[in-house]
Structure 1
Amino acid sequence: MLPASIGSVEIDGTTLRVYIDNPDAPTSVRELEDFVIPTLAGPQPLTALATVEEVDGPASISTQRGVRTATVSITPDTADIGTASAEVQTELDALDLPDGVTAELGGVTAQQSDAFQQLGLALLAAILIVYTVMVATFRSLRQPLLLLVSVPFAATGAILLQLASGIPLGVASIIGLLMLIGIVVTNAIVLVDLVNQYRDRGLGVVDAVVHGASRRLRPILMTALATIFALLPMAVGLTGHSGFISQPLAIVVIGGLISSTVLTLVVLPSLYTLVEGARERREARRAARAAAAA
């Protein structure tokens, strides 16, 4: 229905457009051409004032922050949203858009990007919190840094296993990495704490590490294997329709546990011996010089 008149009213600096329905509005192009418009020179047909033609137009017009927008929806045929989004972005970058026209990805892609940013901040916050707790527990700034070395090793194993399984990286994978931060340092804390207890009893660094690693070998392997086998049903996709969340999470945790367990049993004792052994030798040399001076 074409309105009989359109007026503008300004209220407190805001312009409002008023539409008045006309029950006798034209319903065809011919009637629209003959539609009479009141002017200062008298009533005139619309064709005397404008060109009337029938063209195709949008069924609806949407705006965002006052800018006219158009939405194109794409449903990928794969669960790898990241790869699909990258391909769409490549095609958008290759387009020669008119001046004043911009294109950007939205929907699930934008939500996933925001989720990655938020989870990335959560990962940094989790590492900082874990480090603070370990500093308060061990009363040392150096030993907690040795324990945090397990975090990148765990992330490496998690990503490698996910690549080997062909599962795309998603929000569930980042959540799995967030869980790994607390999981992988547990065995390392238990091992280092026992080694420190042996050192407090008078053992040297090397002897304390050997005794501590041998005593903690079985518990560390048992806890890691128990967690890995408990997550296997989720990792192989036995969880049904929820597999798109649980399967990537389980794969990330399993891969991280495997690599972090190897780190705890092999790399961490070596780093501890290297760092604390150097400190022990420096203290021994200072004690020897002090005794010689006395």
Structure 2
Amino acid sequence: RLAGVVENARRDTPTVSYFGEIEALAEGIQGASDVALEQVTGLPVMTITPNLEALARYGLSIDDVQQAVAVAQGGAIAGQVFEGDRRFDIVVRLPEAQRQDPQALASLPIPVPAAVAGGEQATYVPLHQLASIEVVPGPNQISRENGKRRVVVTSNVRGRDLGSFVEELRDQVSARIELPEGYWVDYGGTFEQLISAGQRLSVVVPVVLVMIFGLLFMAFGSARDAAIVFTGIPLALTGGVAALWLRDIPFSISAGVGFIALSGVAVLNGLVMVSFIRRLLDQGAPLHEAILNGAQARLRPVLMTALVASLGFVPMAINVGTGAEVQRPLA
């Protein structure tokens, strides 16, 4: 599973050494697996660097050399051929073998101005006398996000929670790597989704609790009885936190969803119990007797409700296969 993405961008060409350092830091953190750096270099590129002194000696400009090389490599339209109503451009350029051969390209003739040549006949000078030609490793690919160049370092996380892994990686990068101006590091992938889901839960959970209390108040018509049932939620959540601690499972979005479901089960059991006790009170039974009889009469329905939900989650709680990192915290 994709655990995290470290994204780096700058307005000009990125320096791969910084990304290699981040990759090395990620490999040294506990839980890191399958750490990989996006391949951004390694593609052979032919570069032609003009010699300004030689150009000045022959009265040429950089543009003169660029135009000649552009025609030799990319071609130029020399005319058109007509076949009936159709027309085709005639493109002149060097053969493929010579375009890929630096030695052949070095012999490309560049026309010299007549004023410099000192004669009426056209004079040419080979390209290797005006520029240096070499094949060097160039960019293999250029990735962009929001108009900025980006290099990605990916990593999977096994044996620990994603949040603590990214937090440790962030501390290591901040302490050991000093990025130049124009560079920055973003943490995305599944971690970005985790942050987004956590922000949504911080809004959804309070709203759900308020709605539960509102529904209880509408059902009983009494804030006191609604509060009595509502107090079962913190006790149920305490048990859930203890279960996570005993099994050494970190809190996650799946665990948050499980806490919401647990709140529903706790409210349902309290609703069954309090409703029956109120019925006994309306029939004239004393409070103490109504509580005892209500607890005894509704013990079986409450246990059945709780056991159905608990036993249904047992396969998820003991799962160790695919999807266990989602199912176990939920159960």
Structure 1 counterpart of 2:274, from 184, 187, 192: 192
Contact 1:122 1:178 in 2 (8 A): no
Shift of 1:155: 2.1
Question: What is the one-letter code of the residue matched to 2:314?
Answer: L
Distance in 1 between the 2:281 and 2:233 partners? 26
Distance in 1 between the 2:309 and 2:257 partners? 17
5 Å-filtered alignment, 1:122-137, equals 122-137=204-219
5 Å-filtered alignment, 1:58-73, equals 58-73=139-154
Partner of 2:318: 236
Contact 1:26 1:35 in 2 (8 A): no
Structure 1 position 77 matched with structure 2 position 143: no
Q: Secondary structure at the match of 1:241?
A: coil
CA RMSD of aligned residues (A): 3.8
Partner of 1:214: 296
Shift of 1:242: 4.2
Structure 1 position 106 matched with structure 2 position 188: yes
Gaps of 5+ in 2: 1-44, 47-68, 75-90, 117-123
**1:247-274 deviations in Å (ceiling 9; x for gaps):** 3322xxxxxxxxxxxxxxxxxxxxxxxx
Shift of 1:72: 0.9
Compared CA separation, residues 52 and 146, structure 1 to 2 (3 A): farther
Partner of 1:201: 283
Distance in 2 between the 1:135 and 1:108 partners? 39
Distance in 2 between the 1:39 and 1:113 partners? 64
Distance in 1 between the 2:112 and 2:271 partners? 88
Question: What is the one-letter code of the residue matched to 1:61?
Answer: I
Structure 1 position 140 matched with structure 2 position 227: no
5 Å-filtered alignment, 1:33-182, equals 55-78=136-159, 80-94=161-175, 95-182=177-264
Distance in 2 between the 1:35 and 1:69 partners? 37
Please report the TM-score for the alignment, with normalisation by the length of structure 1: 0.64
Structure 1 position 27 matched with structure 2 position 100: yes
Please report the TM-score for the alignment, with normalisation by the length of structure 2: 0.58
Question: What is the one-letter code of the residue matched to 2:190?
Answer: V
Q: Secondary structure at the match of 1:167?
A: coil
Higher-RCO chain (CA-CA 8 Å, sequence separation at least 6): 2
Q: Which has the higher strand share?
A: 2
Shift of 1:92: 2.5
Contact 2:107 2:126 in 1 (8 A): yes
Question: What is the one-letter code of the residue matched to 2:301?
Answer: P
Distance in 1 between the 2:184 and 2:103 partners? 38
Q: Secondary structure at the match of 2:215?
A: helix
Structure 1 position 223 matched with structure 2 position 296: no
Compared CA separation, residues 46 and 96, structure 1 to 2 (3 A): farther
Shift of 1:172: 2.4
Partner of 2:70: 4
Shift of 1:53: 6.4
Question: What is the one-letter code of the residue matched to 1:123?
Answer: V
Distance in 2 between the 1:38 and 1:80 partners? 67
Gaps of 5+ in 1: 7-20, 251-294
Contact 1:126 1:181 in 2 (8 A): no
Higher-Rg structure is 2
Distance in 1 between the 2:111 and 2:281 partners? 101
Question: What is the one-letter code of the residue matched to 2:280?
Answer: Y
Question: What is the one-letter code of the residue matched to 1:178?
Answer: I
**1:153-189 deviations in Å (ceiling 9; x for gaps):** 2222112212211233333222212212211111111
Contact 1:116 1:171 in 2 (8 A): yes
Number of equivalenced pairs: 235
Contact 2:265 2:306 in 1 (8 A): no
